[in-house]
Chains A and B, each alone.
Chain A
Amino acid sequence: MFMLDLLRNDKPGSWMLATLLVVSIAVPVLNLLVPEGSIFHLSTYTVTLLGKYLTYALLALAADLVWGYLGILSLGHGAFFALGGYAMGMYLMRQIGERGVYGDPLLPDFMVFLNWQELPWFWHGFDQFWFAALMVLLVPGLLAYVFGYLAFRSRVTGVYLSIITQAMTYALMLAFFRNEMGFGGNNGLTDFKDLLGFDLRADSTRIGLFLASTAALAIAYLGTRYIVSSRLGLASVAIRDAESRTRFIGYRVENIKLWMFVFSAMLAGVAGALYVPQVGIINPGEFSPLNSIELIIWVAIGGRGTLYGAVIGALLVNYAKTYFTAALPEIWLFALGGLFILVTLYLPKGIVGLRRMREARA
């Protein structure tokens, strides 16, 4: 009842959710039930690729929530994604157990390789799924809380905020590249075997992960839609458009910003956690500032401040990336760079805005 109310005024969102539902039924059927020789068969590779796109879409959704509705252009959202990914990666690492190259029951391979004698304290507990799942939310959330608390309280806004978020993810990247940090250094975490007892290489597990990503995206979409339709969302938009005025009316701008930022970071963490078992690796490269900026362009291309635009943008750009990097690797950076320029110059409302512009003209 409540959800229907929410979607009544959100036609594109309803369409998107309906499409997600259809896809989540069609993909398992086409992958598992249709025999491999048939043209309708969907390879497991494609399923994983789709699952990866969906986690990117979830990440874009998280970024759009703070950029589109709060005016915070975070150039460090990739850091929250990567932290969620590392939390999941640590769980998967611990699941390997004795099946590692060195066969140590407790220590992951890279620690044996580095001649470490015991498990660092922050690796404890990651053998339990519930603990890892909690950390997927808590670690990005805590970082966002500390960072946001400091930044919003001192009223660091606009470009300055963007630049220090970028510095944050850059510093984390440098830190995670260090072997001494205890996260596998340059190589990151990889060689995962199974998740909750399911073999990660099995088709059924892949389908399961794909469905989990779909579900996470759908739930996150409904959740963020609920937030932006609520009084909190309206206050956020007010902050985006006139921060000082909102403060003078009597809203606690810092608190609103902080909680929205933390929520967004947690969503990004979940996206990272779903991304890692599908891709099979997490390394410090995920922290690179380039990734964070790229995800902003997904949102910009799809259409900022619409939520579904972010999802569409993420899917489209990543499909284009997969296509171009395979077919015309030289062209990809030209195309991506050109997209940045053209979209900001001529499509300030993104692809979603095109439709609105046509409607307005008609």
Chain B
Amino acid sequence: MPESITIAVVRRLSPLLLLFFLFTGFVPQLLANTSTGEASLQEAWKALTDKSYSKKEKAITLIARQNTADAYPVMKAMLDGKLYFSTRDKTLFVLKEQDGNYAFTPLFAGQAVTQESKRGFKKVKINNRLRTRLRQALALLQLQHEDKKLRLAAVQELLKNPDSKAANLIRDVVEKETDTEIRTAMHTLLAVIQLESPNENEQREAIKKLADSLNPSALNALTAYQPPNTALKKLANAAIQKINDRRDNYARAETIFFGLSLGSVLALAAIGLAITFGVMGVINMAHGELIMIGAYTTYVIQLLMPEHIGISVIVAIPAAFIVSGLVGMAIELTVIRHLYGRPLETLLATFGVSLVLQQTVRSIFSPLNRSVETPQWMSGAFQINEVLALTWNRFYIIIFCLAVFVALILVMKKTLLGLQVRAVSQNRLMARAMGVRSKWVDALTFGLGSGIAGMAGVALSLLTNVGPNLGQSYIIDSFMVVVFGGVGNLWGTLVAGMSLGVINKVLEPWAGAVLAKILVLVFIILFIQKRPTGLFPQRGRAAED
């Protein structure tokens, strides 16, 4: 700011006002029009009490341009219908209602009055035109507020009612704006104003600028635009086309992101099953309940550490792995161990286990749904541009799914346990002959699969309510994912989960959520007919029964 202006400002304002400026960060940089002095401002304040709306409008414009400290609160009060004047001497008051009483605080000089009725005071009436003007003026003032959110809100307000007279002011403000999002919005606003200019060259410039904007107001302005000649009309139509294409592309990207996050949930739920079903060949109908146990573990951990919700979710991941893993090993040791080689019986027995687990949870935690609190760091969204915003929790789920997956692949490929698991699943007798304790490996493998189900439960607990039936709703989906991907193939499970998620979300807009799900189910049923071994079948002799 040039020094001379600063000095002029300081001289003009009382020390109190200066203090106000220092605190609120209002920077009076709009005193370009120095010819209108204090006197005309006083008149403007007076003019607000006038009956004529056009006089009031002029006064507002003047006050807004002067931008003194009073301007913002007074215009706000006026917009809210809280600005009154005394019928005696036409001095301005701001009304505040206090337990049935009316408190009138004077703006400049005079006594504060609190009384039971509004007698002696009259409201400064406004009409719709004035209301729009006030909003514009307020937004213009707010453009220079230090709070980013308020500035953004101001730009958006102005985009709704662009004011051509404000162009100069906005141009000034843009230069100083540091936030790119607000800058982009301001540029759009300038272009929208420019579009209203009578000059055709200006209009052409504006259309070109608007074509690059994704702000909905840009599209609105272009749609409402009346081109004076065919060349401009063509240009405008091309711009609209371009905007729509880009919006469609971003919408598609969003759908795929949603699909991937849903796919991650499916894959997470299914990875554990890919181990127990895919690698060991055990049909575990209690798999969903192991997920549920993981979700309840998260809930309990949050109960134990209510002060640290943010950390609790992190703590819950290993905790859920251990709890579900132990429950899984217990199931293996007591039930499944006795049923190897009898897949249909295993299916029935583990279904029995799932009923028992459900009822146990129902007895301990009551049949009501419990909700797990989402930590602060997971809420909110990552705003890429005006159209595309990616929510953090979906983003983390994708990351989490991939992390679990990588960890699992490492365990299977790089550790002794993984080696033994693969050996047992390929040829049990030979593995035992080589000294692998196959029974112990079975228990550990089942525990690993169950533990991963528990970790999936942590993720699910953040997305849906935690209840006894949580697992049941995922068991069929999980089996579908594993079978679709090809039994015994971990990569297949990941690819299948992700593609089913994306297919589901792509179908959803025109089929509705339920029908999309039905279509996916039918698709998988038909797919299994065509390729009974899934997308990525196991090759070699082991694949043939």
B-contact bits for A131-167, CB 8 A (1 contact / 0 none): 0000000000000000100110111101110111011
> Are the CB atoms of B343 and A175 closer together than 8 Å?
no
| Chain B residues whose CB sits within 8 angstroms of the CB of A348 once the complex forms | 345
B515 on interface, CB distance cutoff 8 Å: yes
Which chain A residues border B344 with CB–CB below 8 Å? Answer: 73, 158-159, 162
Are B339 and A170 neighbours in the complex by a CB distance under 8 Å?
A: no
Residue B353 interfacial (CB < 8 Å): yes
Per the bound structure, the CA–CA distance linking A153 and B532 in Å amounts to: 11
Contacting residues of chain B (328-356) with chain A, CB-CB under 8 angstroms: 335, 338-339, 343-349, 351-356
Among residues of A, the one whose C-beta sits closest to the C-beta of B533 is: A160
Bound Cα distance from A139 to B344, whole angstroms: 28
Chain A residue nearest in CB terms to B519: A171
- Chain A residue nearest to B515 (CB atoms) is A178
Q: Pick the residue among A151, A160, A178, A336 that contacts B514 (CB under 8 A).
A: A178
Taken together as a complex, chains A and B put the C-alpha atoms of A170 and B480 apart, in Å, by 12
- Are B359 and A345 in contact (CB-based, < 8 A)? no
Contacts of B338 in A (CB 8 A): 345
**Counting CB contacts under 8 A, is A341 at the interface?**
yes
Contact A341 B518 (CB under 8 A): no
A348 to B345, CA, bound (A): 9
A168–B348 alpha-carbon span in the complex (Å):
18
User: Which of B355, B360, B363, B479 is in CB contact (< 8 Å) with A163?
Assistant: B479
Say whether B526 faces chain A, with CB atoms less than 8 Å apart.
Answer: yes
Size of interface on B: residues with Cβ below 8 Å to A: 42
Q: How far is the CA of A101 from the CA of B108 in the complex (A)?
A: 70
Interface of B is mostly: helix
Whether B8 sits at the interface, judged by CB under 8 Å, is no
Segment with Cβ contacts to B, from A24-32, A58-66, A293-301, A309-317: A293-301
- Judge if A229 is at the interface, Cβ distance under 8 Å: no
Query: B4: CB under 8 A from chain A?
Result: no
Q: Is there an interface contact between A175 and B518, defined as CB atoms closer than 8 Å?
A: yes
How far does the alpha carbon of A234 sit from the alpha carbon of B269 in the complex, in Å? 42
A86 at the interface (CB under 8 A from B): no
Q: Which of B348, B355, B356, B528 contacts A160 (CB 8 A)?
A: B528
Contact B356 A334 (CB under 8 A): yes
B356 touches A333 (CB 8 A): yes
- For the complex, is B522 an interface residue (Cβ under 8 Å from A)? yes
Interface residues of B in 478-520 (CB under 8 A from A): 479-480, 483, 514-515, 517-518
Closest B residue to A151 by beta carbon equals B529
Q: A293–B286 Cα gap in the complex (Å)?
A: 13
- Bound complex: CA of A73 vs CA of B346, how far in Å? 12
Contact A164 B518 (CB under 8 A): no
Indicate whether B261 reaches chain A with its CB closer than 8 angstroms. Answer: no
Asked if B339 contacts A344 (CB within 8 A), the reply is yes
B522 touches A171 (CB 8 A): yes
A336 to B525, CA, bound (A): 30
Judge whether A336 and B355 touch: CB under 8 Å.
yes
Distance in angstroms from A197 CB to nearest chain B CB is: 38
- CB under 8 Å from chain A, chain B span 524-540: 524-526, 528-530, 532
A291 to chain B, nearest CB (A): 12
- Expressed in whole angstroms, the minimum distance between the Cβ of A322 and any Cβ of chain B is 17
Contact check, A340 vs B351: say whether CB atoms are below 8 A apart: yes
Whether, in the assembled complex, A339 has its beta carbon less than 8 Å from a beta carbon of chain B, the answer is: yes
B446 CB to closest chain A CB (Å) equals 16
What are the residues of chain A within 8 A of B358 when measuring CB–CB?
333, 337
Residue among A147, A330, A338, A340 making CB contact with B348, cutoff 8 Å = A340
Given known contacts A159-B347, A163-B483, A171-B522, A334 and B339 CB-to-CB distance under 8 angstroms:
no
* Contact (A336, B480) CB under 8 Å given A171-B518, A171-B522, A174-B514: no
Give the shortest distance, in Å, between B226 (CB) and chain A (any CB). Answer: 42
Whether the Cβ atoms of A167 and B532 lie closer than 8 Å is: no
B521 proximal to A (CB < 8 A)? yes
A341 and B283 contact, CB distance less than 8 A? no
Give every chain A residue within 8 A of B345 (Cβ-Cβ): 344, 348
B476 interfacial by beta-carbon distance below 8 Å: yes
Out of B348, B360, B476, B517, which one reaches A296, CB within 8 Å?
B348
Report how far A177 CA is from B349 CA in the complex, Å. Answer: 29
Tell me whether B517 and A336 are in contact (CB under 8 A). no
Is there contact, CB below 8 Å, between A164 and B363?
Answer: no
Which B residues touch A330, using CB under 8 A? 359, 363
* Residue of B352, B360, B476 with highest tally of chain A CB at under 10 A: B352
Q: Are B521 and A150 in contact (CB under 8 A)?
A: no
Q: Is A289 an interface residue (CB 8 A)?
A: yes
Q: Given contacts A171-B522, A344-B345, A344-B348, are A333 and B359 in contact (CB under 8 A)?
A: yes
- Residues in B with CB closer than 8 Å to A344 are 339, 345-346, 348-349, 352
* Distance between Cα atoms of A155 and B526 in the complex (Å): 13
Would B528 and A341 count as touching, CB distance under 8 A? no
Interface string of A318-361 (1 = CB under 8 A from B): 00000000000010011011111101110010000000000000
Partner pick for A159 among B343, B518, B521, CB 8 A cutoff: B343
Q: Give, as a whole number of angstroms, the nearest-CB distance from B405 to chain A.
A: 23
Contact A338 B476 (CB under 8 A): no
The answer on a CB contact under 8 Å between B529 and A170 is no
User: Chain B contacts of A175 at CB under 8 A?
Assistant: 514-515, 518
Identify which of A150, A151, A159, A293 contacts B351 (C-beta below 8 A): A293
In Å, the complex CA distance between A154 and B528 comes to 9
Binary contact readout A38-52 vs B (1 if CB under 8 angstroms, 0 otherwise): 000000000000000
Q: For B335, what are the chain A residues with a Cβ–Cβ distance below 8 Å?
A: 341, 345
Q: Which 4 A-B pairs have the closest CB atoms?
A: A340-B352, A337-B355, A337-B356, A333-B359
Known: A150-B526, A164-B483. 18 other contacts (CB 8 A): A151-B529, A153-B529, A156-B528, A160-B528, A167-B525, A170-B476, A171-B522, A178-B514, A293-B351, A297-B351, A300-B348, A333-B356, A333-B358, A334-B359, A337-B359, A340-B348, A341-B353, A345-B338
Residues on A close to B: CB < 8 A? Answer: 73, 147, 150-151, 153-156, 158-160, 162-164, 166-168, 170-171, 174-175, 177-178, 289-290, 293, 296-297, 300, 330, 333-334, 336-341, 343-345, 348
Could you name 14 residue pairs across A and B whose Cβ atoms are closer than 8 Å?
A151-B529, A160-B532, A162-B283, A162-B344, A167-B525, A171-B517, A171-B521, A293-B348, A300-B348, A337-B353, A337-B357, A337-B359, A345-B339, A345-B349
